[in-house]
């Protein structure tokens, strides 16, 4: 446990690729990508992971570059810290509610460019691999906690076909014994009349309340 604390302190909460001390929780987000120059998932991962303290649980955060060429290697490096639980956050620009993703699918959107303007090399993640990988988490309980904290929330069948799904797929494969959940958040409330999306503060508070019950 002391090693995990030191690892988090060395990076101001951000886990480094050479930190192999066992970690309690890992929280991840994504950097900017086309049409989303400021990613709220990055900001929330940093807020949750840099200062999380609850029942002796220590957490660190990591922000993925939103690029196919880097995510798989980043996941392998993060898995070396052997987190007991992983909370992955990504933004879905069109959603109005927080979505707990039930699984990652072995597919990629062939026409969707990443932050490096690169297209995926093939429409599948792992040729010959399983059709999907199921998330490992307390799905229904997580949704109920989010709703109890005052935000709209529900389940989603899968994490889509973009980098969120790609990272979720690889994290589930790299940590077969850890609890791993992916949650899509909405873009923050614009402040305009009729916008029912949650604010950044509301999403942060809801995620903290959800985390207190465990993943």
Average pLDDT over residues 83-108: 95
* 31-61 confidence digits (pLDDT tens): 999 888 899 999 999 999 886 666 677 788 9
Residue 70 clears pLDDT 60, i.e. is over it: yes
Domain 2-212 CATH assignment equals 3.40.630.20: yes
Q: Is 37 buried (19+), middle (13-18) or exposed (0-12) by CB count in 10 A?
A: exposed
Q: What is the DSSP string of 23-67?
A: -SEEEEEE--BTTBSS-HHHHHHHHHHHS-EETTEEEEEEEE-S-
DSSP state letter for 149: T
Domain ranges of the chain: 2-212
Task: Please give the Cα distance from 132 to 61 (Å, whole number).
Answer: 26
* Burial annotation 144-162 (CB, 10 A radius, 16+ → b, else e): ebbbebebbbeebebbbbb
φ/ψ of residue 26, rounded to 5: -120, 130
* pTM of the shown model: 0.88
| Residue 54 confidence (pLDDT) | 63
């Amino acid at each position: 446990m002391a090693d995990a604390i030191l690892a988090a302190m060395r990076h101001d909460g951000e886990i480094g690729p050479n930190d192999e001390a066992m970690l309690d929780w890992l929280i991840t987000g994504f950097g900017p990508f086309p049409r989303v120059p400021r990613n709220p998932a990055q900001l929330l991962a940093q807020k949750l992971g840099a200062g999380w303290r609850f029942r002796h649980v220590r957490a660190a955060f990591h922000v993925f570059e939103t690029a196919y060429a880097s995510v798989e290697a980043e996941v392998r490096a993060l898995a070396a810290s052997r987190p007991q639980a992983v909370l992955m956050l990504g933004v879905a620009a069109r959603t109005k509610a927080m979505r707990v993703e039930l699984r990652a699918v072995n597919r990629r959107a062939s026409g969707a460019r990443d932050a490096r303007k690169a297209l995926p090399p093939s429409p599948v993640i792992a040729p010959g691999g399983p059709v999907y990988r199921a998330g490992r988490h307390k799905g229904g309980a997580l949704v109920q906690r989010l709703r109890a904290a005052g935000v709209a929330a529900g389940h989603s069948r899968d994490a889509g076909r973009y980098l969120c799904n790609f990272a979720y797929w690889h994290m589930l494969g790299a940590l077969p014994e850890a609890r791993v959940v992916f949650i899509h958040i909405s873009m923050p409330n614009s402040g305009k009349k009729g916008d029912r999306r949650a604010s950044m503060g509301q999403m942060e508070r809801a995620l903290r309340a959800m985390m207190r019950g465990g993943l």
